[in-house]
Structure formats: structure tokens, C-alpha cells
Structure 1
Amino acid sequence: MPDRPSASDESTLLRWMRLEIGRINDGVVSERKRLSRLLREEHPSSVTKGGNRHDFDRDVLLRLEQALPEALQRRLRLPILFYFDSTVPDSFFLADEAAVQALQNLSEISPLRRMQGGRLWIGKPLVYAIVNRYPTAMQIVMH
């Protein structure tokens, strides 16, 4: 019969997992800026949690500007964050109403979809396709 891990082994594993998740999330933008502000910047960028510069693709920002109403451009903060939760391995969730509205306006998700409990779950294949279509304006976060 295999030995069961001790409580100290489990706490060591959890500490290690938190460190790894933190390293993965180092590339995530720490200060999300409104689309309207990014459009005014000469070199649209923000800082990541790891302290590096995250440059936004201006062509992607211009595509978003053309597709989204002005009021939403003033509310939408970029990048749009899709959260991964290990308890739901086949989906990511959004926790930002303006992001949901933007993706609906872009015809990326159905206009009938609604947030429940502050989240909107979206299947992984669809999220990967969206992230690839809007490079630098979307990010995936380990939750």
C-alpha cells in the first residue's frame, strides 16, 4: 500500500504550485487600460505583473475601435482577461461585463449569453480562437 502524503508534503506542494502559477501570470498586464486611452497613446503599452512592458498591436486596437461603439470603447479595459480555473478544465471564464459586451459586438460570442454569478464561461477552443484573432488585446490568466 502506498504511503499517503503528509500534511507538510501537501503544504509544500501547494506553495510550489502557487509559485509556478505566479510565474505563469508574470506576463499578465497589471494595469489594464481603457481602449479609448490606448488609442490616444503613441506607443500603446502597459506593464505586466513581472514588471515588463506589454505592447499592444495598434492594428488590433484600430479593428476594435472600428467595431465597437464609442461608449463601450470608454468602458472596455484591455487586455480582456480569460481566467482558467482548474476545477473547470474545459472552459475559461470572463469576469468583466464590458468584455462580454465587446465580444458580443465583435460576434465572437452569442448576444444571448449572460453572466451568471459574475462570470461567463466559454469553451477553451473558442477562447483560443479569440486570443489568436486579437493578439495582445486578450490574455489568459491562471486563477
Structure 2
Amino acid sequence: MPVQPSAGDEPTLMRWMRLEIGRINDGVVAERKRLSHLLREEHPSSVTKGGSEYNFDRDALLRMEQALPRDLQVRLRLPILFYFDSTVPDSFFLADEAALQALQCLEEISPLRRMQGGRLWIAKPIVYAIMNRYPTAMQVMMR
């Protein structure tokens, strides 16, 4: 017979879950850099939350440079972060207005889409397709 956790176990479970989410997010870039800055670097890179080096795909950055207006290149911080929320299992959300504008300029998201409440929900298959077209320029982060 399975053992049901008691109400007193909840704080312990929540601490454990936060620890696990932190481990999962160790590969996420800690200091997101502006696209314009990354384009000037000989080897565009940053550091992850776990302390590892994160190298950007130069070809993806160059494709973005060609498609985005200069003012957006200066405002856009990479990688673009899509957030996973376990309460919405089929989508990720975007919480960065410059990222939304960039994805619209790249024709990855309809120009008619708007954020609501500071978020734009995007179906997982669409996010995965975008990530495949712009490797290392996008990451998923758990919340």
C-alpha cells in the first residue's frame, strides 16, 4: 500500500523540489549578454549558473544580426529564456519584451501576438523548432 505524504512533509518536499530545479537550471546562462556585445566577441560566450562556460553558435548570432534592426540588437539579451511552468504542461512562456520583438522580426512568432500580464505563452513544439533554428541563442528554464 503506497504511503501518502502528510501535511508536515510539504516543507521538506518543497525544499527538495527547489534544490532539484536549481540543479536543472545550472546549465542556464547566469549573465545574459546583449546580442551587439556577443557579436564583438571573438568567441562569444558567457557563464552558466553552475559556473561552466556557455559558448554561443556564431552562425546563429550572425543570422540574428542580419534580421534584427540595430536598436533591437542593442536591447536583446541572449540567450532568450523560455520558462517552464508545471501548471501549463504543453507550453513555455516568454517574459522579455525585446525577445518577443526579436522573435517577431525573425518571423518565428506572429506580429499580432502580445504579452498579457508580462507573459506570452508559446506551444512547446514551436519553441523547440525555434531552438533548433537558433542553437544556443535560446534556453529553457524551470520555475
Give the TM-score category using the shorter length. Answer: over 0.9
Unmatched runs of 5 consecutive residues or more in structure 2: none
- Counterpart in 2 of 1:5? 5
Rounded Cα–Cα distance in structure 2 between residues aligned with 1:121 and 1:10: 29
Q: Deviations over 1:17-59 (max 9, x none)?
A: 1111101000000100000000001111001000011000111
Matches within 5 A, 1:38-117: 38-117=38-117
Rounded Cα–Cα distance in structure 2 between residues aligned with 1:40 and 1:124: 32
Rounded Cα–Cα distance in structure 2 between residues aligned with 1:50 and 1:109: 31
Unmatched runs of 5 consecutive residues or more in structure 1: none
SS in structure 2 at match of 1:46: strand
* Aligned residue identity for 2:77: R
- The reply on whether 1:129 has 2:129 as its aligned counterpart is yes
SS in structure 2 at match of 1:81: strand
Q: Deviations over 1:50-94 (max 9, x none)?
A: 001100011110000001011100000000000001111111000
* Residue 2 (structure 1) shift: 6.3
Rounded Cα–Cα distance in structure 1 between residues aligned with 2:7 and 2:116: 36
* Residue 3 (structure 1) shift: 5.3
Rounded Cα–Cα distance in structure 1 between residues aligned with 2:22 and 2:129: 25
Rounded Cα–Cα distance in structure 1 between residues aligned with 2:60 and 2:2: 53
Rounded Cα–Cα distance in structure 2 between residues aligned with 1:81 and 1:7: 34
* Aligned residue identity for 1:135: P
* Residue 127 (structure 1) shift: 0.5
Q: Percent identity?
A: 83
- The reply on whether 1:139 has 2:139 as its aligned counterpart is yes
Structure 1-normalised TM-score? Answer: 0.96
* Residue 9 (structure 1) shift: 2.2
The Cα RMSD (Å) is: 1.3
